[in-house]
Structure formats: structure tokens, C-alpha cells
Structure 1
């Protein structure tokens, strides 16, 4: 069998395994009912697939016995864990990185990992779980302060006690899950994808993550302020809609669209003009 035929067969099997792993991960994420993670995972897999497709003809596909065994073991580990998954968000975030690392070792060995540094870096970012950031610090108090400030600007009689936003006819408590970390991570992920895939200067490398954090925090703060008003008005059904229903998706989708437009005009359009 010629070397060319072996390489073609290896490419086919690696592609088939990759497609199966991506499908499995997206399916499990969809079953977890974590919409933010599902949309973020889809974007990251799309970016990784695009990067790999561009360099498909220049990849060195040579792997040793140890590297192939280790890579296959990582993939098997992901598959076994997936069979016994019980809504583990941490696993859903880290499994894409483990899967890609296993595929890279299987296809190119330890020496060939440098070819995939961009893709591995992207999925390493995805592995940053929301809970890990909460261990560093909870921003709920800042979210509560911002939401109270928004209500005060709009003319509401509002007071603040810790993470409790108090209006004359009702109050809400801002939990860590409503602090905006999820939305901030989602926008940071989008910024990270652009920074990896598009050549940018130092100013934009600093500006994009900064805007992602500020926008995610502000949009979520407005959402919290709205929920406080709904509680004060005793609109429980409307509160549930904006809290856990489709209304929460409207805010996150709006934030992604606004940030996408910002990236288009500030980064992507600039790159096109320069080229």
C-alpha cells in the first residue's frame, strides 16, 4: 500500500471520528438544556473545523505507537464518560479539548501537536467552566448595584441591601447564576475566536475582551433590573419568562448580535480595508 493511500485512509478515519465526537458533544450539550453552552460550543467547533480545513493539505500525519495509544485512550475516556453523563457542565466544557487532543495525538503524534496550537487553544478556553470563575470571585454584588443604579436612573424608588434589590412593593436576590458570568463567558468566547482567527494589533487584542466583559455585564444588569420591576408589579408569569424562559435568550442573543456588529466594524472591516 502506498504512503499516499495510507495518508488518505488516515484522513478519512480521523475525519469520521472527529465528526462523531462533535455530534456527540453537541447532542449531550443540547440534552443538558444549557442554551448558552450549546451556542458557544457550536461556534467553537465551527471555528476549529474552519481552521483545520484551511490547513488540511499541509498537516503532517505521522504518529508513533505511544502517541496513537495515548490519543485513542483519551477518546475512549470521553466516550465512556459520555455514557454515564449526568448534566455535568464541567465535563461538557472540557471534553472538546480532550477529544481534540486525542485526535491530534492519534493523527500526528506528540511532535505534531504544534500544528494544532490554535485549535487546542480555542477549546482550552471553552474548558473554563463558569463554576471555576465563581471560585475566584462572585460578581453578584456588582450586578445588584448596577441593576439598582439602572432603576434609580429610570426614576424608581430603589434601595440595596447586599445582593437584595428592594422596591416599594417587592424585592429580588441576585444569585451567582444571575450575575452575568454565563453571558460574559459567551461574549469572551466569541472575542477569543476572532482574536485567534483574525490578525489584530495589540489595541484590538485588549479592546475586544474588555468590550465583551462590559457588554455582557451591562446587558445582564438591565435584565436583572427588569425582573426586579416585574416582581414589584407582581407579574410572576412575566418574571419567569424573562428569568428562565425564552426572554432570557432574547437578552443573550441581543448581546451577541451587538458584539458581533462591533467586531465586524472595529476588527473584520478594518482587516478587509487593510488587505
Structure 2
């Protein structure tokens, strides 16, 4: 039975990732890979407890069937792609372990619930675009560029860019926040580290995104539209996400003494 459940989980992950890659949303692709990886790593640390009964199995099946049905008709960048993982794992938890499974697997469920939050929802309450513009302008000024900033507009002598909400860094911050949660769930940490590690993750994500915006401002000033598109909506944005993850992992290794690490 365990192998059958692993096969079903693998099939659901594969289905979700295939839908995500079809959406051509690079932020969503990066987030999906990171959050699924985090959930799987946490799941591997636990012993599977198979003990369910008819009612939770029925509820889990009623959750899973509409998820699969919706997957057959989805197209483009649908909000359903964000709730797919949490619904799938919740359904499997009920089928395998019943309601008690929520207590055992709350960490995986919590991480995937963070993934379900669309960046646009956070932007309704907090939009860091003006701060991103200022930090990007500071980066350019530090490198010797003649730059000015007004609101969300970063201007160079031969071109300017407007830092829209989607480019403010919220998506990258959510990605790295998930990695930070995974790190906290897998490592024994002290109280101050539980606050410090997510804070550093958010800081790194925001700073790396601001550097990316600065690069795009230079490309606009140079008139290189193809390079701008690559770093804006192409695979270039995934490069910066990868850099942010690597920097966070290195920072976490420095913050956590070697004898306290379990990874």
C-alpha cells in the first residue's frame, strides 16, 4: 500500500508541475519546485502512519476527484494551480491517516498553504514597489550610474522603467520564505534563530530582486529589448531565484553552528 500511495503522490506532483510549466509563469514554476521540494523533504523525515476509516477516506476522495476533474480542463495561469498542492496533500492525508494525519503532517500542509497565497493578495495590503525602486536606484548609483527615482519610476539618461507591483519582489520573498520554513522544520533551532532565519530569507529575496530590477533598468537604457524580456519574464528570473536560494542556504549554514545541523 505504501508504494501505491507514493506512486499516487508522484503522479499528483507530476500532474501539477506539468500544468504549471504549461502556464509559462516563471514565478509560479520556481515557487512550485521549491515548495514541493520542501514538502517532500519534510515528509521523508516522518514514518507513514496508515490508519484511516471510511469517513475520512470518503472526504479525501471527494476532495481529490474535483481536483483531478479541474486539472483536465485548466488552461493558462489559473489560481487553481496554487491550491492544487494543498488540496491534494490534504486529501491524501485523510485517505491514508484519517483526521489524525493532520496533526502528523501539519508542517507539509502549512508550507503548501503558504504556496496557495497569491502574491497579489499580499500586494493588496503591502506593496513594496516604491522601496524596490529606491533600492534599485541605490544599486545603480553605487555602480556609478547617473540615476534618479521618483515614486516607482527609475530613470537613467537614456531610458527608464516603472517598477510595477508584480516586479516588487513579493513573489521571490514568498519563495524564499517557504525555503526558510522548511529549514526551520528540519533543523533544531533556538528561539532567536526561528525569527532570524525567515527575516534573512525575506531580506535576501528582496535585495536580489532589487538587483534584478536594476539590471533591467540598464538593459532598457541600452535599448536591448530581448535581454530585458529574458530577465523580466523569461528564464532569467529563475536564475535570480536560484541565486537567492543559494545565498540563503549559505547564510543559514553560517548562522547555524555545525554541531546543530541535521541536513
Length-normalised TM-score, structure 1: 0.87
Q: 1:70 to 1:261 in 2, by over 3 A?
A: same
Of structures 1 and 2, the larger Rg is shown by 1
- Deviant stretches of 4+, over 4 Å: none
- Work out the CA distance in 1 between the residues paired with 2:43 and 2:111: 12
Query: Which of the residues 193, 211, 225 maps onto 1:222?
Result: 211
Farther-moved stretch of structure 1 (222-231 vs 67-76): 222-231
RMSD: 2.2
Gap runs ≥5 in structure 1 = 1-8
1:116 aligned residue: 105
Structure showing greater relative contact order (alpha-carbon pairs closer than 8 Å, 6 or more residues apart): 2
1:5 aligned residue: none
> 1:144 touches 1:164 (CA, 8 Å); kept in 2?
yes
- Work out the CA distance in 1 between the residues paired with 2:107 and 2:143: 45
Q: 1:268 to 1:116 in 2, by over 3 A?
A: farther
Post-superposition shift, 1:73? 0.7
Length-normalised TM-score, structure 2: 0.90
- Work out the CA distance in 2 between the residues paired with 1:183 and 1:240: 18
- Work out the CA distance in 2 between the residues paired with 1:173 and 1:224: 10
Q: How many residues align?
A: 263
Q: 1:195 to 1:230 in 2, by over 3 A?
A: same
3-state DSSP of counterpart to 1:136: coil
2:91 aligned residue: 102
1:142 aligned residue: 131
- Work out the CA distance in 1 between the residues paired with 2:161 and 2:34: 33
> 1:89 touches 1:129 (CA, 8 Å); kept in 2?
no
Query: Which of the residues 236, 245, 248 maps onto 1:256?
Result: 245
Gap runs ≥5 in structure 2 = none
- Work out the CA distance in 1 between the residues paired with 2:7 and 2:219: 50
2:45 aligned residue: 54
- Work out the CA distance in 2 between the residues paired with 1:39 and 1:269: 29
Post-superposition shift, 1:270? 4.7
> 2:56 touches 2:95 (CA, 8 Å); kept in 1?
yes
1:11-50 C-alpha deviation (Å, 9 max, x unpaired):
3433332222111112111222233433332333333334
Post-superposition shift, 1:89? 4.7
> For 1:199-210, what aligned pairs fall within 5 Å after superposition?
199-210=188-199
